[in-house]
Amino acid sequence: MNRLLIAGNWKMNLGPTEAKKLAATLAKRWPSGSFTNQVVVSPPALSVAAVVQELAATDIDVSVQNVHTEDSGAYTGEISTPMVKDAGCRYAIIGHSERREYFGEDDVLVAQKTKKVIADGLTAILCVGEKLEQRKAGQQESVVKKQLDAVLDHLSEDDASHLVVAYEPVWAIGTGETASPQQAQEMHKFIRNVLKQSWSESAGSKVQILYGGSMKPANAEELLSQEDVDGGLIGGASLKADSFSELIEIAESLTTDG
């Protein structure tokens, strides 16, 4: 079993002052050595410095929510991977459905960004997932395979340890709707098989596959217990120290029991 990864996506919430407060509460609750799984938080770029500073004495890693494909230059409003590393982050979320939907990110751009993130030594949390009408039409697997293949074509098996895939059915993000544990497991197994077929059995096995879409303390145990669910990408429930800590606790109880 892979270690579980509990990743909080704060989206466009919590400026430096509020982000620092939440990070300070998490730092107090989760000092270094207090969990065996992996925990990541992803604040807005402007709050990253404050969060990195507050979490310095913990094992919680920090991520950004997006990067540009170039190192520097005339790209007003963008941030680059060298800046992200310099700021103390180890992860970057790439291809979140909100970026695909509202900022026109297509599979080609998502692939370029994922490649850049991994080439520069960060870990990419690559988001894939189908929309409601696609699930209703039974197209979920072909949609996710297309999104994955676009990226895998540009990576090699050696990149496996720097890739995390987050399966986020768009209909479950921020809606209160959750995929059933069976729906999640089915898709995670499918993703795992795509990875194994593209690379190898061992490379496909070691990629952590997270579930995202209204995960919260009430439904996390069942979702995280599924064989191919290696953690969660969590929006709403990551914005409060109590609910996020509960999710970390649930993950811990599963790995120590299992």
Q: Contact, 41 vs 54, CB < 8 A? A: no
Give CA–CA dist 158/199, Å, rounded.
9
Name the minimum Å distance from CB 18 to ligand PEP. Answer: 17
- Catalytic annotation present for 141: no
Distances (CA, A) of 61 to 83, 106, 150: 16, 27, 27
**Residue 123 host element (H or E):** strand 123-128
Residue entry with tokens 């409060």 = 240
Annotated active-site residue 168? The verdict is: yes
Q: Which is nearer to ligand PEP, 6 or 155 (CB)?
A: 6
Choose which of 159, 168, 228, 230 interacts with ligand PEP (CB under 6 A): 168
**Catalytic pick among 54, 98, 105, 168:** 168
Count of residues engaged in binding ligand PEP, rule: CB under 6 A: 13
What 142-148 contacts at long range (C-beta under 8 Å, 24+ apart), as own/partner pairs, is 144/187, 144/190, 144/191, 144/194, 145/190, 145/194, 146/107, 147/95, 147/107, 147/110, 148/191, 148/194, 148/195
User: In this chain, which of 209, 212, 229, 230 binds ligand PEP, going by CB under 6 A?
Assistant: 212
Per CB under 6 A, contacts with ligand PEP among 38-77 are none
Residues 83-142 contacting ligand PEP, CB under 6 A: none
Identified binder of ligand PEP from the candidate list 169, 226, 235, 247, rule CB under 6 A: 235
Beta-carbon contacts of residue 203 (< 8 Å; ≥ 6 apart) = 157, 160, 195, 196
- Contact flag: residue 215 with ligand PEP (CB under 6 A): yes
CB of 72 to ligand PEP, least distance (A): 28
Part in contact with ligand PEP (CB under 6 A); list of ranges 111-119, 133-141, 147-155, 231-239? 231-239
Q: Which listed residue (68, 96, 162, 188) is catalytic? A: 96
Binding-site ranges for ligand PEP (CB under 6 A): 9, 11, 168, 173-174, 212-215, 233-236
